[in-house]
Structure formats: C-alpha cells, structure tokens
Structure 1
Amino acid sequence: MSHTVAHVLPPLHGCVVLVVDATTGVGRRVASQLCALGAAVAVVGAGHPGRGDDAATNAAFLCKELAGIGLVALPYQADVERPESFAALTGQIAADLGPVTASVVVVPGGSGGEELAPSFRVLSGVVAASLPAGAEHVEVDMRSDGPSLEKAAQAVVERLVRLHETWRAPSG
C-alpha cells in the first residue's frame, strides 16, 4: 500500500521581500514573520544617525539568527543619507535571491524619528520606483499616533500574504 504525503508550501513561498530598517522594532518583526512564512527576505539595516550602532552588522546578525533556524534572509547595505544608493538594491537582490516581489520601508517615528521621517519617505519613493512591474510596495509610518509595533507588523504581513495568495491563484 502506497501513501502519498501532500506537501503544503508556506504562504509566502517564492516571494522575495526587501525590508528597509529591518534590524529593530517593527522592521525586525516584519522581516522575521515574513521569513517564517516562507519568504526570502533582503534585510537592510538603515543606520539612524546618532543611534550609535552599525546597521550593516545588525543586518548580518539578524540574517545569521534567521538562517540558524532554517529561514532565508540576506543582509544588504544602503545609506539613508544617500537615497540613490537604494536604487541598485533590487537588481542586486534579484541576482542573489530572485526578483523582488514586494518591499517594505519602515518610516521611523517616536523619539528622534520625526527628523528622519522625511529622508525615509524619499528613500521609500526610490525603492518603490526601482521595483519590477507588479511588485508591491508598503510604507509603514511609525509616528507616535500610529499603530503599535505588533499591530503594524501584523498588518504588513497579512497584506503581503493576501497579495501573494492572489498572485498564486490560478487564472481561469
């Protein structure tokens, strides 16, 4: 007697998602959840001037942590103060992981975030313009009057899962 085991693909299998400001807060939660749901995630740590950390190192550590549990994430570097540095990311990511199907840019809020927000909105526009046709772009605004980290991350993940389901749906 032969048994066939059905293999169910994770909901975001085949998606490549670029997440900017992915090493802390909502960006980290989004990147981790997307990976857990089967997406290959391009992690960009966006150095915040005055924060005293190394965004590239933080991105590498997050990717190592995710790889340690069998998930796919690669670190990338771009300079928030040079938004044009983000234009080449989608090509680099496509060469490494495949075409980018979605991007998420977290616009910081809260303490110190208000002066960074305009720069992040500009780089968000650069990222959106560099995406291949049909790719989804999500900008998450974390102003103090916005949603909590958990709610913001969950909303982004749910949106991308719904979109991916429509992309995968057979056309009839």
Structure 2
Amino acid sequence: MSIAASYASAPLDGCVVLVVDATTGIGRAITARLCAAGAAVAVVGAGHPGRGDDAATNAAFLCKELAGIGHVALPYQVDAEDTDAVAGLPGQISADLGPVSASIVVVPRCGATDRLVETFHAVSAAVARALPEGAPHIEVDPGPRAATSATRCDDEPARSAVERLVAVLTRTPDRRRSA
C-alpha cells in the first residue's frame, strides 16, 4: 500500500509540522508521510560538521519535489550546533506557514558519532522548548544499533512517529491552524 493510500482523508489538514533532519533517511520518510496526511511541513535541513552534503539544497529539492505532487512544504536550514537559531525556527515557520502545530526531530544514528547524537538531542530539546504551549514534540531516535543495522533505518520509525502524531493532533483539533 502506498503512503498516500494509508490515509483515506487528510487527518492533518491545517496542521503545520516542523521536521528537523527531514531531508534524508527516516526524516525524509516522515516528511512524505506527513504531507500525505495533509500537513504543511517545514522541511529543516540540519547542517553539521561532517555532513557530506548541503542541508539547505537538500531541503529545497525535497520541497520542490513535494510541491510538484501537490503538497505544501517549505525549506529551512539551520546549523545544528547553533541552539539559538534552532530555537528561532518555530517563530520563523509561524510567520511563513502559520502557527506550528507539532514538531519531530530525527536523531541521526546511521554512522553518527556520539557528539552528533548529543548535538541532535540538544536540538530536540531547543525545539521542544520553543514550540507553542501544548504543541506535541516527538524525538525519533532509532538507537545505537542503527549504526550497524540497516533494518533500523527503514520506514518503520517514520510510520510509527507519524501515526503517533496523527493520533495526538486529531484528539486536539485546536492545535490545527485556522483556515
């Protein structure tokens, strides 16, 4: 079954979701699933030392791809080591897309150093503190085995995170953006 087919309706229509490390792996799968569920997604490419690609370019290309199939996604870039910039993301996104309804931060594990994992835990904490009151925050951390196990880097963590978010946001419709 396709991702779009797994959502008969758009349960997250009107929601704005911030996703950090949204351009590759689990984050990319989460972003696609959120869009399929009707959310407007703030696609945040998280730059960090040792990253072998350009986070901002990846975010822009992913958003262009999603817009091409009718989804709403805007690209953002942040230096993962700049917690002040990270904390400013919800305000910036709110100005562009509307109030942030929820956030998901993906902690990179496939080949990540302990320092990078710690950096992303700090990013997650900064995002959670900066969200509007009551907005849910999910940290997706596939765990240390992900560095050696390809099966831990598959779509299961993405599906699980989005299903949890859909469940929370559909129980609290006031978290949705006013149309």
With structure 1 as the length reference, what TM-score do the two structures score? 0.88
The residue number in structure 2 matching 1:21 is: 21
Larger CA Rg, structure 1 vs 2: 1
- The answer to whether 1:139 aligns with 2:144 is no
Measure how far apart 1:96 and its partner are: 0.8
**Matched AA of 1:154:** R
Partner of 1:63: 63
Aligned length: 162
Name the % identity: 59
1:38 aligns with 2:43: no
TM-fit CA distance, 1:83: 1.6
Partner in structure 1 of residue 12 of structure 2: 12
Cα distance change, pair 99–53 in 1 and its aligned pair in 2 (3 A) = same
Letter in 2 for 1:151: E
| RMSD of equivalent CA atoms | 1.6
Between the aligned partners of 2:50 and 2:119, the Cα distance in structure 1 is 15
Q: How has the CA–CA distance of structure 1 residues 9 and 151 changed in structure 2, closer, same or farther, with 3 Å as cutoff? A: closer
Question: Does the aligned pair in 2 maintain the 1:114–1:143 contact within 8 Å?
Answer: no
Is there any run of 5+ residues in structure 1 with no aligned partner, and where? Answer: 1-7
**For residue 142 of structure 2, what is the amino acid of its counterpart?**
M
Aligned to 2:149: none
Q: CA deviation at 1:142?
A: 2.3
Show CA shifts across 1:62-93 (max 9, x none).
Answer: 00000000000000121112121111111111
SS, match of residue 165 in structure 1: helix
1:163 aligns with 2:168: yes
| Contact 1:110–1:143 (CA under 8 A) maintained in structure 2 | no
Q: Is the 8 A contact 2:67 2:73 kept in 1?
A: yes
Q: Structure 1 residues 130 and 53, CA, compared in 2 at 3 Å: closer, same or farther?
A: same
Q: What TM-score do the two structures reach when normalised by structure 2?
A: 0.85
Letter matched to residue 92 of structure 1: Q
Which residue in 2 is equivalent to 1:50?
Answer: 50
Contact 2:25 2:153 in 1 (8 A): no
Match for residue 128 of structure 1? 128
Could you give the per-residue CA deviations for residues 9-65 of structure 1, whole angstroms, max 9, x where no partner exists? 511101100000000000000011101110000000112422321100100000000
Partners of 2:99 and 2:10 lie apart in 1 by 18
Greater helix share, 1 or 2? 2
3-state SS of paired residue (2:47): coil
Runs of 4+ that moved beyond 6 A: none
